[in-house]
Each structure stands twice: as structure tokens, then as C-alpha cells.
Amino acid sequence: MEARRPIRLLVVEDDPAYLYLIQKAFGARQDETRWDLSVANDGAEALHVLMEEEQENVPLPDLILLDWNLPKVSGGEVLKRMKQDRHLCKIPILVFSSSKADADVTDAYADHANGFITKPGDTDLLAEIVQKIEQFWISVVTLPKIVRLKSNP
């Protein structure tokens, strides 16, 4: 079996304790998939990482886990801005939220989220969700390779 390239996952999460659990859950899956996790601690940081850095030929994340209720810039605003960008709109975004509100779910899908997952409060359930994310988004789906090219003025 050929070695697969690492899957670049951007986790946008403001709760350090929950971020630790997410990192641990994906870290436990390293035998199955090589995960290259990066983190943004709020919506403003996520937008900076994704839209404002002027780096040439920088590979963008393959997949994003986006908390909905973020400080500075909401998850909803991050989602809207990403889906309006010609490069970023191709990246699958899974909203990963403690919210169960119908309005949040509806708004996320209206703004073209690729999925809405309610955060589990149990580490075993989190591990199961991570396994299912991996099964579908890595084993079943073919993710696009997206590189933002520095635009010339």
C-alpha cells in the first residue's frame, strides 16, 4: 500500500480543553491517516491564516473543523467569507458546535457548510465521530488539492 500524504486539518476552536480532546482524538488515528493539524483559536485568527497571509504557493487545509460560536469573528462569518473566496470555497468545512439550535444548523447549511456536527460531551463519542470523519472524508471522498497562488499586483 502506498503512503498517503498527510491530511491538513485546520481546527478552529476557542475552548482549550475541547481543543486538547480534538487533538488527542485525531492523534490517536495517526496509524490510519497521517493528520497534520493546525489550530486557530478564534474566527479572526482563522481568517488571517486562510485569507490574509501573503505566502506564495502555500497549501491550504484539506478539511476544516469550524466551531460555530467563536469570539472576535463568528463561525458563521468565517464560513460566509470562505465560501465567497474562489480558492477557499473548495475546502470542505464541517461545523463542529455545541449548539443544537435548528437556526444554527439551517444557517450553516444555507452558507454552504459541508456538514454540521454537534460536539459530543463524551470522549468515546468524540473518538467515534473522528473515526467517521476519517472514514468518509479520507477513505471515501477525494479531497481537492488547493494551493493559493500569490496574486501579482
Locate the domains of the chain by residue range.
7-146
Exposed/middle/buried for 152, CB within 10 Å: 0-12, 13-18, 19+?
Answer: exposed
Residue by residue, pLDDT tens for the chain (153 residues) are: 344 678 999 999 999 999 999 999 988 876 778 899 999 999 999 999 887 654 666 678 999 999 999 999 999 999 999 999 888 899 999 999 998 899 999 999 999 999 999 999 889 999 999 999 998 998 898 888 776 655 544
Q: Are 56 and 150 in contact (CB under 8 A)?
A: yes
What is the pTM assigned to this prediction? 0.88
- CATH fold for domain 7-146: Rossmann fold (3.40.50)
Note the pLDDT of residue 146. Answer: 72
Closest CA to 56 of 138, 145, 153, 147: 147
Cβ 10 vs Cβ 49: under 8 Å: yes
Residue 83 burial (CB count, 10 A): 15
Q: What span, in angstroms and rounded, lies between the C-alpha atoms of 36 and 145?
A: 14
